[in-house]
Amino acid sequence: MSSTAYGVQALVFLGVFAAAFGLFYQAVRDRIRFLRAAAPDPTRQGHPKERWRSFVVYVLGQRKVLAEPSGMLHVLIFWGFLVLVWGDLDFIGYHLSGWHLPWALSPVYAFVQELFSALVLVAVLAGLWRRYGLRPMRLEASAEAGLILALIALIVLTYYTANAADAVRAGWLPGWEAPVASGLARLLQGWPGRALLALSLTAFWLHVLCICAFLVLIPRSKHAHMLAAMCNWYFRRLDPPGRLRKLDLDDEQAESFGAGHIEQFTWKQLLDGFACTECGRCHIQCPATLTGKPLSPKYVMLKMKDHLVAQGPSLLAQAAGAETATEPLFARMFSEEEIWACTTCRACEEACPVANEHVQAIVDMRRYLVLTEGKAAPEVHKVFANLERQSNEWGLNRRDRAAWAQGLPVRTLAEAGRAEYLFYVGSAASFDARNQKIAQAFAKLLLAAGVDFAILGVEEESDGDSARRLGNEFLYQEFVQRNIALFARYGVRKILTTDPHAYNTFKNEYPDFGYQADEVWHSTEFAAKLLREGRLRPRQPLRRRVTYHDSCYLGRYNGMYDAPREILRSIPGVELVEMERSRNHSMCCGAGGGGMFKEEGGRQRINVLRASQALATGAEVVSTACPYCMTMLLDGTKAHGAEDRLQTYDVIELLAAAVADAG
């Protein structure tokens, strides 16, 4: 082509690209302004080395994406697209000037470009087949997703086509370095020069238009995650995942608590909505979704994003001082039923490849309903009343808190004055007849190992976890202050507990209120330590086939998967078999987030589904490490009529049965 033709093409390209980039910039700018108008979050600052490491590992390395085999398709598209973007500098520059960039003449460069282009095309075709052919539960056959995949495929195909036409026009055929373009070039041999020029120009401009269309669509579609996910990983939480954000209840200027309007979420929570890839991994891990509840963690994220975009102009006007208000979250966007369906198990967060944090957002909406609107189901209000009156969810007489220890040489701190360890029993093991056996078994193990411990007895208060997860932050903080004062009176610095919920809140949340224990141990963690030290010796063989159910608050919240299994493997005769969903992929029993105390709708109860997964292993015993899981799995096996075929024991009970001195 003549220099004039190249000049005209360059001008047209600059005009088209400038328009597309302008639309891209406008959308990105607006969304950044929306985020900046939301609540602040100072916890996302600092620790730059760790944040950049997250970026490298999870964005460039795609580690979380590769947690599932299907993630390989995304990796091929991600890395292939990065290589293609680099290659497009030469591709576009050549078609606008007739000159190649220096490195573009290298056969190695050409081969790498062809290879990654082919991988992208294969991944796109596989993605189309998977989404529209196989149609798995977690993916939607949306027109938007099909359009994006089609644009990517066209970008690759037009790249191949233009290169092949240009090669034939130049009178040479590429060799090993460009096998695809070489094959296409052979098909084009014999075409007139004008036809080849027309094909090259058509492919080039279609390529450019696809890129520009993609640029416009990125911030306006689910592919906003291409930008937001990178930021999400950089700004991910570095504190323990089991920690909920503390509310400042002494703020006299606060007109409400929790999140009832979109601007009451933090900017990071709203960024999560843009980061969501709509991959549905959270959707198929959520126990509420799987059992027919109206909750899907995926749609929680997408609703937050959609509501932010819709209310953005009002939000900006409000931030500028105008007398306007955003539409309440519960007016049309969210239902109370879906927010109460969450078990706070964090299966969604564990599965998410872009570091979204669903649980805090859901609890913030519960906080708004409870603290600002005074709304909750009758059974939830009853739990609050019981906690206020008797410091336990069942409303049983608090004077009976130490009844489980009758007949055992267990001291209270009031009697002992001081002890190395406080055995915090918790409400479930104090009042529930079945769970009292767990407290008794653990106490026997501690006595057999010669551990210096005591309990609080009638002085023990609720740890407050149920109140907090059910949205009553005010009641939770009351219990925190009472417990901190009680711990200070007795000089409590080391805590043992059989309850993962108490373990989590003492270890991860009480420090926000000024109490940092020197040691917090879950019973299985501490018993495993005693086994390693030789202070406990399992002697009695059990000869049972056992499967272990991972408690969410012990596993996903605190990363404790090995200690319970270490104990089970130490018991002679025990054969440990794993459920299909185990460790970090374990399924919730349904008790978390106050679920044990709420009426459960949907087509199936969560604990019944989990019990069926335990039954599928062929085990004789399902072992737990949480009193709430114990109750839920007992009820689940009874619902199957299988309580005799599949017995339920705490890991500590099995160990106590195997330790002669603790028998």
Rounded distance between C-alpha atoms, residue 392 and residue 409, angstroms: 25
Q: 201 — alpha (psi -120 to 50), left (phi > 0) or beta?
A: alpha
The CATH classification of domain 545-662, taken from the options 1.25.40, 2.60.40, 3.30.1140, 3.40.50: 3.40.50
Fold match between 3-36+68-220 and 262-372? no
Structural contact between residues 557 and 241, judged by C-beta atoms closer than 8 angstroms: yes
Task: Tell me which residues of the chain have a pLDDT lower than 50.
Answer: 662-663
Helix H or strand E segment including 211: helix 193-217
Rounded distance between C-alpha atoms, residue 650 and residue 624, angstroms: 5
Q: Each residue of 411-442: pLDDT tens digit?
A: 999 999 999 999 999 999 999 999 999 999 99
Strand order through the sheet with 575-577? 575-577, 545-548, 621-624, 647-650
Q: Alpha helix (H) ranges present in 37-70? A: 48-54
pLDDT at 661: 54
The domain spans of the chain are 3-36+68-220, 262-372, 393-504, 545-662
pLDDT at 1: 60
Phi, psi at 401, each rounded to 5°: -60, -30
The CATH classification of domain 262-372, taken from the options 1.10.1060, 1.10.1740, 2.30.29, 3.30.70: 1.10.1060
pLDDT at 255: 84
pLDDT at 83: 81
**C-alpha distances in Å from residue 297, one per residue of 232, 285, 301, 339, 491:** 17, 9, 7, 10, 42
pLDDT at 109: 81
Structural contact between residues 651 and 657, judged by C-beta atoms closer than 8 angstroms: no
State if pTM tops 0.75. yes
As its CATH architecture, domain 3-36+68-220 has: Up-down Bundle (1.20)
Structural contact between residues 483 and 533, judged by C-beta atoms closer than 8 angstroms: no
pLDDT at 663: 44
